[in-house]
């Protein structure tokens, strides 16, 4: 008897849970808002390469070390603090003769390539061309990239999110008014494109870039000496999807 009562209790509980899961959602209006904020960057990340090739490894290492020291000195002379400067580990690569590449363990080494990557963060983006010129004169063999970003990223991202939510609500109000309804409280909120968005197979996180590449081009022959550096702006975007109750 007790077993029978227990089975009945389990069945009733299961039916209750299934009924709750199958309960229809209230009337909703689903919208997605997107916002973009463009700001002037105030930080620049530069990456330099200092490379030396020589048939003698000890000589290559010595020359590379001396050249890297000059590049670091040139960077420090422009006001960069140690907190914004990093010299990565040194890379040593042996280069073999063409016909012996498949037998590197016994092949003859033509020369060694010793290189080092130096990273620096500049807090005055207008000085980027000065840094590139100074490091090149000191012995840097390559300026790999210029990445621009803002030190106030979180502030601008939060503002973009707020604007995206506002846009989603304005869209919901416009849609509901056509049907003679009013928008109530939010029922669900997604950051990114929600499953109901057109062309979406599910949740997608928002794309919020933290930086952008700067343009560094040579001036025409009749223009000023040096390079033309266009700082421009960077974009910080947010996408918010909201389900609002319909009243």
pLDDT tens-digit profile, the chain (247 residues): 555 444 445 445 555 555 455 678 899 999 999 999 999 999 999 999 999 999 999 999 999 999 999 999 999 999 999 999 999 889 999 988 766 556 556 678 889 999 999 999 999 999 999 999 999 999 999 987 778 999 999 999 999 999 999 999 999 999 999 989 999 999 999 897 666 554 433 333 333 334 333 443 334 334 344 456 678 899 999 999 999 999 9
Exposed, middle or buried by CB within 10 Å (0-12, 13-18, 19+), for 17? Answer: exposed
CATH 3.30.70.2970 domain residues, the chain: 43-149
Mapped to the 3 state alphabet, what secondary structure does 143-188 carry?
EEEEEEECCCHHHHHHHHHHHHHHHHHHHHHHHHHHCCCCEEEEEE
Residues in the chain, how many? Answer: 247
Where in the chain do CATH 3.30.110.170 domains reside? Answer: 25-40+152-246
- Homologous superfamily of the 43-149 domain (CATH): Protein of unknown function (DUF541), domain 2 (3.30.70.2970)
Architecture per CATH, domain 25-40+152-246, reads as 2-Layer Sandwich (3.30)
């Amino acid at each position: 008897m007790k077993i029978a009562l227990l089975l009945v209790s389990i069945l009733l509980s299961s039916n209750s849970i299934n009924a709750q899961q199958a309960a229809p959602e209230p009337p909703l209006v689903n919208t997605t808002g997107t916002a973009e904020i463009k700001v002037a960057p105030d930080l620049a990340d530069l990456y330099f390469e200092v490379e030396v090739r020589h048939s003698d490894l000890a000589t290559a290492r010595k020359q590379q070390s001396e050249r890297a020291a000059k590049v670091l000195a040139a960077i420090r002379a422009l006001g960069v603090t140690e907190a914004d400067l990093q010299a990565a580990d040194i890379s040593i690569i042996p280069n073999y003769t063409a016909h012996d590449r498949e037998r590197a363990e016994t092949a003859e080494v033509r020369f060694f390539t010793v290189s080092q990557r130096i990273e620096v963060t500049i807090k005055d983006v207008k000085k980027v061309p000065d840094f590139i010129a100074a490091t090149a004169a000191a012995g840097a063999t390559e300026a790999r990239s210029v990445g621009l970003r803002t030190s106030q990223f979180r502030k601008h991202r939060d503002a973009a999110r707020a604007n995206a939510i506002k846009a989603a609500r304005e869209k919901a109000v416009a849609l509901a008014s056509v049907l003679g309804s009013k928008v109530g409280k939010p029922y669900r909120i997604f950051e990114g494109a929600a499953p109901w968005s057109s062309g979406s197979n599910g949740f997608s996180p928002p794309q919020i870039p933290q930086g952008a590449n700067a343009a560094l081009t040579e001036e025409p022959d009749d223009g000023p000496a040096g390079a033309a550096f266009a700082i421009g702006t960077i974009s910080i975007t947010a996408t918010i999807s909201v389900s609002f109750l319909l009243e």
